[in-house]
Structure 1
Amino acid sequence: MQLNQHSRLSIAPMMDWTDRHCRHLHRLLSRQTLLYTEMVTSAALVRGQALHLLEQSQEDHPVALQLGGSDPDELARAAKLGVDAGYCEVNLNVGCPSDRVQSGCFGAVLMEQPGLVADCVAAMSDAVAVPVTVKCRIGVDDQDPTVLLPAFLTHVIGAGCERVSIHARKAWLQGLSPKENRDIPPLDYDLVLQMKARFPDLHITINGGITSLDQAQAFLAAGLDGVMIGRAAYHDPAAILCEADPRIFGVGKASVPEDAVVQMLPYVDDHLAKGGKLGQITRHMLGLFAGRPGARAWRRMLSEGAHRQGASPDLLLEALRQIGPRNDLQRTG
């Protein structure tokens, strides 16, 4: 399946969440959905030689690497490192509003410098043979998105970018925290749809506030090329990913979260054998049975037990016994 086809549904890059353990769980729930790493800064890879940040498993593909930075040469070198590590796409972060990102002159603040973004995209595209994509906002602060966004897209298209993920909110760099920037600025889905009409050859993925496959299917039916889901997929992964393959991609059958738990056991064994800790994996599994009978007991057992001395994969099986049969008419736990 082509990468553009995989991007019909993707899981957003989320700092401290979409690490390699999280991605492995998500891949067990959906074979087709495009997954993204957490944002990795180009400086960490090129200047800090923190190549451990690129660790991944080929079994989890397709996986895209998201980079943060604003120096074209450094981003090009970082992109090359990412491709050498096996990633099938390199994505430039032009959407994160955190103070730490602003101080490094990357993330959403780059919406104010579309020419620099274009230079970065061009340098990265020259350095690697995989797609170079951009994740952006519709604007920042007092910018007029109806003017800024088409101009921004024109720049990145001119630099060779063929796929963009648009978070359909402004980012307020002054006055709002990163958490508030995920909720307070109003969503403008219509503007993203207008961009698809204006740039029909640009592959546009919509992001922001999307919480269900029903919404995803509606956006695809409206003509958008892809849908990116973030927090909803992390907190309730089964609701988003278990039926993604048949409903969004038209292949395979729905997965079962209980099966994913069992399939995680060899992965957990390997992680522990290498000196890792059980909680590094199970923290991503707490919402796996959200809304199911026994979900509260599942969360409690993993939260309390994973950090105890000698915690083993058996804890997962013990917690799994607390989950009752699925009953869509009874949402408890």
Structure 2
Amino acid sequence: MTWAGPQLYIATTRPADVEKILTNCLNKSPFYENFNDVMKDTLLTSKVSIWKEHRKMINPSFNLKILSSFHGIFVKYSREIVKYLYDVEGTEQTDFLSVVWEKTLDVALDDTIESKRFLPNLTKLSRTEQITREEILEETSFMMMAASETAAITINTILTILGIYSDIQERVYQELVSVLPNMESSPTQEELNRLDYLKRVVKEILRLVPTIPFILRYADEDIKCDPYVFPAGSNLVVPLVLLHRDPDVWPDPEKFDPDRFLPDEVAKRHRCSYIPFSYGARNCIGPSKIWNDAGKSNGCDDSEELQSTNCRYEIMEGHPVGIYGYAEG
């Protein structure tokens, strides 16, 4: 618990409390007003009344059936990333993240241009005054940014981790060889769905390196989380890095272990102990796209061993993280 000027911030890492907060507190923290210049009244920052209307309009464009229709686009740019890796082979250092960002931005542009769903649907709604032209521009800009930034960071992290853990990389490769009959051909959606170990690898990466570091919600009313009450008017913080590394939930939390996400292991944990895409009604609208991007980028011509990478770091001792509030009564 801490004060930032007049604003009270309370952090919690208890999964049961996290579920209650993300289920009952749909308004975002005033902290997000810092982004109003670039994404005012978007799905990320808007008040609940605006968010509900926009989400209802945009949701139909993000179902798995529609995302699967972009299969060719994902594969096309995934192959371009792989080609770039071959081109820079032997180079001591390269700005790989910028290349991945460029290609994922191309995917976002092609999605918008070729889908013929998202923009025309919003434009039609603007004519009926359900959404303004300014709001269309804001939501489109936000979708472009969110689609490119999150996917680029995730793909870059996946390839880095595979370079660090050569044994994990080998298991991913062996699964690709067994599932994909021809490594030169484009993987089908059905084949991607069978890459169970790769999915676990991606989930473990998002546990250790979540795309966003925290979630902030605003308490419109008192939130009871036994034995505490988080008071109305407070900013409630869910620090994903700490939530995903809680030793009470994740044994040896710093260890990279994709088998944490075997079905039997997942069943042992609270559903809010792992929430890389948030949770509840106001969760991320595009997790299916993240899985598609990650799967295709690692399933296209992935036959060259990544150079082993040494990324040593030290965990600095800090203040203990706990649950703070005021007792009911």
Q: TM-score range by the shorter chain?
A: under 0.3
- Using the size of structure 1 for normalisation, the TM-score is 0.23
Larger Rg: 2
RCO higher in structure (CA 8 A, sep ≥6): 2
- Using the size of structure 2 for normalisation, the TM-score is 0.23
More helix by share: 2
